[in-house]
Amino acid sequence: MNISLPFDFSEEAFLKACARKELWAQKKLYEEFYSPMMGVCLRYSNNQEDAMDILHEGFIKIFKNISKFQPGTSLSAWIRRIMVNQAIDFYRKNIRRRTEDLDQAYQVSSYDVDAISQYTEKEILSAVQDLTPAYRTVFNLYVIEGYSHREIAEKLGITESTSRSNLVKARAKLQIALTKQADFYIAENKKTH
């Protein structure tokens, strides 16, 4: 746990204070994990408001289940898992799933690592948020969280081929969006020089 606690408090005592719903402990946990978990939520949503909904619902689950946390394991990994699962729940609850056939998917060459490094985090996040909810969710679960297509299919109630298809299409759309941004910047720079 990376939270700085008062000198006389151990991780176990802190977590017990959270389980007893002591506001100071809940506030400390929320403040400590707000920023990194908001980043996770933003990747799964297409706007700030939805990300906040996911974040707050996730923290409600965290505080409700904090007594189930096993001391000695990674608190940040446990919290992250809850946030990802909350994002999946949000997706399932609010989005009608469209099944897309793998036969319709087309191959896309991988994007050059050096090309990606020229974009800011905000530009990449914006491109990810512009993806459809189905593409965005599969992309995040596969690329960022490391789930297999089988696991994604089980979590989202889709087929493995749909998961693969959505990933291919998400990558293609990201490549197009980021290429358009690069072309725009090049054109703007030519105008100024």
Q: 103: buried, middle or exposed (CB in 10 Å: 19+, 13-18, 0-12)?
A: exposed
CATH number assigned to the domain comprising residue 49: 1.10.1740.10
Neighbours of 157 (CB within 10 A): 10
Residue 175 lies in a domain: yes
Gap between the Cα atoms of 33 and 75, Å rounded: 10
More confident residue, 98 or 52: 52
Task: Judge if 35 and 107 occupy the same domain.
Answer: no
Residue 65 lies in a domain: yes
Q: Which domain holds residue 34?
A: 11-94
Give the pLDDT confidence of 90-106 residue by residue, as tens digits.
Answer: 888 876 543 343 334 33
Q: Note whether 82 and 145 are within 8 A (CB).
A: no
Return the beta strands (E) in the chain as ranges: none
The mean pLDDT of the chain is 81
Task: Judge if 63 and 107 occupy the same domain.
Answer: no
Q: Which of 46, 67, 94 is the last residue of a domain?
A: 94
Task: Judge if 76 and 110 occupy the same domain.
Answer: no
Average pLDDT over residues 132-152: 92
Residue 123 lies in a domain: yes
Q: Which of 69, 94, 119 is the last residue of a domain?
A: 94
Task: Judge if 16 and 59 occupy the same domain.
Answer: yes
Span of 60-64, 157-161, 172-176, 181-185 with lowest mean pLDDT: 181-185
Q: Cα 109 to chain center, whole Å?
A: 24
Domain count, the chain: 2
pLDDT at 23 over 50: yes
Give 73's strand partners: 71
Task: Judge if 121 and 186 occupy the same domain.
Answer: yes
The model's confidence at residue 52, banded by pLDDT at 50, 70 and 90, is very high
Q: Which of 42, 59, 94 is the last residue of a domain?
A: 94
Task: Judge if 15 and 58 occupy the same domain.
Answer: yes
Say what the pLDDT of residue 19 is: 92
Say which residue the tokens 């100024």 belong to. 192
Full 3-state SS string of 19-50? HCCCHHHHHHHHHHHHHHHHHHHHHHCCCHHH
Q: What is the pTM of this model?
A: 0.63
Residue 4 lies in a domain: no
Q: How many CA atoms lie within 13 A of 14 on its CB side?
A: 20
